[in-house]
Amino acid sequence: MSTHRLPPFPGPTTTPTTTPTGVRAGRSVSALICALAVGAATACAPSEGAVAPSQAAAVAPASPGAGASRSTTGAPGIGDPDFPSDGNGGYDVQHYDLRLSYDPSSRKLAGSATIEAKAAQDLTSFDLDLHGLTVSRVTVDGGAASFSRGKDELVIEPGKRISNGDRFAVTVDYSGVPEPMRDSANLGQYGFISTADGAFVTCEPNGAKTWFPSNDHPSDKATYDFQITVPEGLTAIANGEMAGTPQTRAGKTTFVWQEKHPMASYLATMTTGKFQIRTGTSDKGLPIYVAVADSFRGSLGQLLTQTGKITDYWSTVFGPYPFSSTGGVIDDYAAGYALENQTKPIYGGFSPEPAIIAHELAHQWFGDSLSIARWRDLWLNEGFATYAEWLWAEHTGQYTADSAFKRYYANATDSMWAYPPGAARADDLFSAAVYNRGAMTLHALRREIGDDKFFPLIRAWTDAHRYGNVTTQDFIALAERVSGKDLKGLFDAWLFQPKRPAPIT
Ligand code: TRP
Ligand code: ZN
């Protein structure tokens, strides 16, 4: 076992955290960062400059230029420059309807996924992302479709032509033993991870495809219905709220969950196992659902209380809570990290300190409601969630954001100075630089424009892009508009230069 979070003070951890990949954490940063990023060799990143391509460029499918004959093949990637085969081009998903059953003893997942989408071009074929698993049948609008498999791609040829603007529904029947993703972006294992009594399902950045066919990229958000059947006695936990009481028949129980707000695929979960459940309501009236594995039963009440309290507090700082319920799950799978699954962050094998809960719940605004359009902008998630830890410490009187900033700044040889967080690297995506230097960027901004502009800016940010996709350029533009200042130099130094910025004043 391990400690899971240490505050920026007073110093290095004495109980190193070990992740499934064996990465050892020995720094005084939060365990989620330790688990994911520390220990990864942080090579010097060349500067990528301050010029970030527009969101349109980031999500544009690779289509032929003007004059070329217009392809009716949906691109195999959605256009993320650093993850070229993630997501797909040619359509936009509106809704996923996932009807799945999971048997922990055989580790077999079976079921069908219906994807409702709108064509963004004429389509004679298009892809879904799917890793492993066996597809038995595909239909498009009820008619049989032919399909083939490529690496993590399911290529579908509908029996009829789909025209630009058409809405269509694809149903994929499939089964098999899900295999998690490994060793991508320095993460160890992620995706659908089977456990002794169920599954621990944490999919950032591109592990949704380990359990359902999807447009597996945060630039295509959709609503979700889940109908998950598991052996009686187990609980299946997905996003959003439960619809009705779980129904048990012939030794199996079916749980129906609905996420009615747009969600990025990596935030979807179907975590399964033996859980103790508690529900409640926050002081502000928000429904709360918490679940903990039996071995964490002692943390159930505290998780409920803290989750309600912190969600309510963030709604006063960041703006209205974007979803219909809040919650959290502690599984006994010792991942050592947490993930901000929409409405229900999950803590992998540890009882989270309030600072970690504060981090994951801040992500409900930064990452979940406002989602990045391409992974290189990840600081918009992790820098904000880390800064939220500092704000939480400030709120609870532990330390100030200013002192955290100063402490990091004081270390002139920290490897984060070589890693500009405005260009998160595919091979070291969850770097400590993205978290800590990202948070420092926000603090430098706060000091430059003052609290009376900074906090309204944050609320304007969550309001303007609620449920949408965002880029770093969007944030810089809004910061300049709200503050009335030219902030290009500040953001360039903090986000895009491979060296320690000049001290803030
Ligand atoms: N976003 C998570 C956090 O900072 C960290 C994370 C990244 C993660 N990828 C993951 C956690 C995959 C679990 C699985 O809170
Ligand atoms: Zn985070």
Instruction: Give the pLDDT confidence of 268-280 residue by residue, as tens digits.
Output: 999 999 999 999 9
Q: Which atom of ligand 1 is nearest to the CA of 435?
A: 4
What secondary structure letter does DSSP report for 162?
A: B
Nearest Cα residue to atom 12 of ligand 1: 204
Q: Which residues surround ligand 2, an ion (CB under 5 A)?
A: 382, 385
Ligand nearest to the Cα of 202, by number: 1
Which of 339, 361, 366 is the best mutation target for the ligand 1 pocket, counting ligand atoms within 8 Å of the beta carbon and taking the most?
339
Q: pLDDT: is 287 or 47 the higher one?
A: 287
By CB neighbour count within 10 A (0-12 exposed, 13-18 middle, 19+ buried), where does 164 fall?
middle
Banded model confidence at residue 70, pLDDT cuts 50, 70, 90: low
pLDDT of residue 26: 25
Distance CA 34, CA 138 (A): 42
Nearest Cα residue to atom 13 of ligand 1: 339
Q: Which residues contact 354 (CB under 8 A, 6 or more apart)?
A: 306, 310, 392, 396
By CB neighbour count within 10 A (0-12 exposed, 13-18 middle, 19+ buried), where does 233 fall?
exposed
Distance CA 306, CA 462 (A): 23
Nearest Cα residue to atom 15 of ligand 1: 339
Distance CA 293, CA 77 (A): 37
- Whether 68 shows a pLDDT value over 70: the answer reads no
Ligand 2: distance of its center to the CA of 340 in Å?
7
Ligand 1: distance of its center to the CA of 339 in Å?
5
Nearest Cα residue to atom 8 of ligand 1: 339
pLDDT of residue 52: 32
By CB neighbour count within 10 A (0-12 exposed, 13-18 middle, 19+ buried), where does 389 fall?
buried
Ligand nearest to the Cα of 341, by number: 1
Segment 42-50 shows an average pLDDT of 28
Ligand 1: distance of its center to the CA of 73 in Å?
33
Query: Which of 452, 446, 490, 484 shows the shortest CA–CA distance to 472?
Result: 490
pLDDT, tens digit, 9 for 90 and up, residues 73-95: 999 999 999 999 999 999 999 99
Nearest Cα residue to atom 7 of ligand 1: 204
Ligand 2: distance of its center to the CA of 284 in Å?
25
Banded model confidence at residue 188, pLDDT cuts 50, 70, 90: confident
Ligand 2: distance of its center to the CA of 359 in Å?
6
Ligand 1: distance of its center to the CA of 345 in Å?
10
At 405, the amino acid letter reads F
Distance CA 85, CA 432 (A): 25
Residues with CB under 6 A from ligand 1: 32, 36, 187, 190, 202, 204, 337-340, 359-360, 382, 430
pLDDT, tens digit, 9 for 90 and up, residues 453-480: 999 999 999 999 999 999 999 999 999 9
pLDDT, tens digit, 9 for 90 and up, residues 118-174: 999 999 999 999 999 999 999 999 999 999 999 999 999 999 889 999 999 999 999
Task: Determine the 3-state secondary structure of 148 from DSSP.
Answer: strand
φ/ψ of 112, rounded to 5, equals -140, 145
Residue 462 is encoded by which pair of tokens? 């969550």
pTM of the model: 0.89
Segment 341-351 shows an average pLDDT of 97
Nearest Cα residue to atom 5 of ligand 1: 339
φ/ψ of 305, rounded to 5, equals -65, -50
At 401, the amino acid letter reads A
Ligand nearest to the Cα of 381, by number: 2
- Whether 35 shows a pLDDT value over 90: the answer reads no
pLDDT of residue 71: 84
